[in-house]
Amino acid sequence: MTTVQAPADRPSTDADHRLDALLLERWERDPALPAIIHGDTVLTVGELRERVLRTAAALRAHGVRAGDRVVIHHVRSVEFVVAVLGAMFAGAAHAALGVDDPPQRTLRAVRDCEPRAVLTNSTLRERFSGVSDVPGLPGLPGLSDLVVLTDEECAAYPPTLEPVREASDTSADDPVAVIYTSGSTGRPKASLISHRALVSRITALQTTHRMDERDRMLHHTVCTFDMHLGELYWPLLAGATVVIAAPGRHRDADHLAELIRDQGITTVYFGVSQLELFLLTRDPAERYDGLRQVLTGGEVLGPELVRRFHARSTASLTNIYGPSECTIYCTAWVLPRDPDLDTVLIGPAIQDTELWILDENGTPVADGEPGELYIGGAGVALGYLNRPELTAERFLDAERLPNAPAVSPHCRLYRSGDLVRARPDGALEFLGRADRQVKIRGIRIEPGEIEETAKRCTGVRQAAVVAHGSGAEKRLAAFVVPETGTEPGSLPSSVREALRTWLPPYMVPSAIEVADELPLTPNGKLDRRLMETWAAKRSAESAPARPVSRAPADTAAGTPADADPDVESVVSEVWCEVLQVPTVGPDDDFFDLGGDSFKVLRVVETLRERLRADIPLAALLLEPTAADFSEELRRIMAHGPTD
């Protein structure tokens, strides 16, 4: 079964498919329009153009050329946007690395990316300067010769168009972005996104969800998720304004609601969990009719959430689907305002896209039957950076699909690993994964990467990682087999500490169990289903008993209303209840223990009642360890929350 969307009006020249040429043409029309708003800073189109060209000139002066890569290491800010665009105008592909990731993971990505330069700020540049070796990463070459430029240094260069002229004869099939995702071998993999692919996706978005100079789009998606490309390039090419959320507050529903209201946001993308949290956090009577269009995706969207959104906004809600290997999205479905909606689809193919549903032999399935989704068209990535074997495995040329003769000549298909079923009108229903990949709070995770990292920990002979639970309650659990002579009692804590230094918080399992051996199926493979059962059972057993009732806040636990509460004890008690863990230590991280956006809401609401304090959601998001969060609560109770 296949579904195809042809382009509306395919441009005929490479320049029409290159972002630098398209942006310059757009900017020359309206230099006085606001391009970016961040806090009190308003950058006009002309000012943005000048800063971007200065950055491009600095990169070119330091040897950056077409086909090179530039690492962007900035917090969410005007400087981040300028760096991304400056790298593109210099002819390079940008690779944005999260500033909150462990330094070793960042440097490992730098080694894999092999950039010509890094754009960062003066505070963060020390992470890249003078590095000759990194503990725990044998064989990591020195990075002391890496060009590291700050935004202040770039500002000293003239805003020349020379980089654009030098790139004028380059191809629209040159890479413009490098998007890292978790890899099953223990090594993150990076999709290479071309100018042509990204222009195709922005064109598709603009065709169905048009924006113009009157619109404002919120930029709050983390830089390691490919939707940040849509949040930047789409509004800038449409003449709309990019409104940037404050660093560290992309999960803070209070902050986002304030921006939507005060800045007149008309277009926003929410991950499904974030949309759920947003609606749960705000006053049920609060409406968002200023919004014109909302896009969501990244996780399975339920009908009840759709109904709750429609009840509070006149904006359209569109469910989009697509792995980063296909550049932001490849299907879309505008949700009907149907109170009896029972299934949320991921939609038909967008323009410039071919979708095939094939069986295990690569043969198209019968109409309405489930199968694996293969994706083709202009948005398909160039492949994986420096991973020819993996590229050959996942990106298939038409001649390698002899059982699917209707594939367009010279078409490349990406094998998604997702199971879908087509409805008679061509819209697809998402059925799950065909491999081990999981999503935790909307982020793609390969358990194999965590397993390979755990095996590097001292005292670990074997490791297996599984996910258990569903929806907001889905968690990762690790089982480790100790080496001979290793004290098993101390292994979970040492493994956890090691994983925290190598992996981002969302990849550190909430539970780490020691096993004498890993269970096997009768045919000798790891019995992951049994480990999932173990993990779910032990999670339930370790959950503390929840009180049936609680005294009013002013007399809780026999404490007089005017007594100074033991904040650390209250925080520990509430975390244990919400996270279902037996104990909490002062250095424990809320998200490492299995916290997510929904649990943040539950914790803060409970603490507001028990401590009788106006606690903002951002307090826990910005101070996620028990000790730091408790200290922040004491400050809030003494002086009130800060803006």
Taking 50 as the threshold, does the pLDDT of residue 264 lie above it?
A: yes
In this prediction, residue 6 carries a pLDDT of 52
Give the pLDDT band of residue 562 (cuts 50, 70, 90).
very low
Q: Are residues 559 and 453 in the same domain?
A: no
- pLDDT for the residue numbered 554: 41
Residue 132 lies in a domain: yes
Residue 201 lies in a domain: no
Q: Report if residue 205 sits inside a domain.
A: no
Q: Is 403 part of a structural domain of the chain?
A: yes
Task: Judge whether 285 lies within some domain.
Answer: no
- Which CATH number fits the domain that encloses residue 91? 3.40.50.980
The Cα–Cα gap between 455 and 452 comes to 5
3 state SS for 245-270: CCCCCCCCHHHHHHHHHHCCCCEEEE
Which residue's structure tokens are 């590097």? Answer: 456
Q: What is the helix (H) or strand (E) element at residue 2, kind and residue range?
A: strand 2-5
Residue 593, helix vs strand vs coil? coil
Q: Are residues 564 and 459 in the same domain?
A: no
Interior/surface letters 207-225, b for 16+ CB within 10 angstroms, e for the rest: eebebeeebbbbbbbbbbb
| Structural domains of the chain, count | 4
Looking at the structure, do residues 380 and 418 belong to the same domain, yes or no?
yes
Residue 80 sits in the same domain as residue 102: yes
Q: Is the pLDDT of residue 543 over 70?
A: no
Tens-digit pLDDT profile for residues 133-152: 444 444 444 455 789 999 99
CA dihedral angle for residue 237, residue 242, residue 244, residue 245, rounded to 10 degrees: -110
Tens-digit pLDDT profile for residues 3-16: 656 554 444 456 78
Q: Report the 10 Å Cβ neighbour count for 467.
A: 20
Quick one: 164 and 88 in the same domain? Answer: yes
DSSP state string for 24-73: HHHHHH-TTSEEEEETTEEEEHHHHHHHHHHHHHHHHHTT--TT-EEEEE
Give the number of other Cβ atoms within 10 Å of residue 344's Cβ: 21
CB 167 within 8 A of CB 24: no
Q: Is residue 21 part of a domain?
A: no
CB neighbours of 101 closer than 8 A, spacing ≥ 6? 504
Q: What is the CATH number of the domain that holds 370?
A: 2.30.38.10
242-258: average pLDDT: 90
Which of 376, 405, 435 is the C-terminal boundary of a domain?
435
Query: pLDDT value at position 203?
Result: 97
Q: What is the pLDDT of residues 443-491, one digit of tens each?
A: 778 887 888 788 889 999 888 999 988 766 788 999 999 988 888 888 9
C-alpha 38/C-alpha 633 separation (Å) is 27
Final residue in a domain of this structure, among 514, 542, 570:
542
List the structure tokens of 107: 């440097």
Give me the CATH number covering residue 626. Answer: 1.10.1200.10
What CATH number has the domain bearing residue 480?
Answer: 3.30.300.30
In-domain check, residue 504: yes
Residue finishing a domain among 128, 155, 172: 172
Domain span at residue 463?
446-542
Q: Contact, 506 vs 182, CB < 8 A?
A: no
158 located within any domain = yes
Whether residues 471 and 513 fall in one domain: yes
CA torsion sign, 325 to 331 to 332 to 333?
negative
Q: What is the mean pLDDT of residues 32-37?
A: 97
CA 259 to chain centre: 21
- 260 pLDDT exceeds 70? yes
Q: What is the rounded CA–CA span in Å between residue 418 and residue 181?
A: 16
Does residue 560 share a domain with residue 536? no
Could you tell me if 578 and 533 lie in one domain? Answer: no
Closest CA to 328 of 408, 229, 411: 229
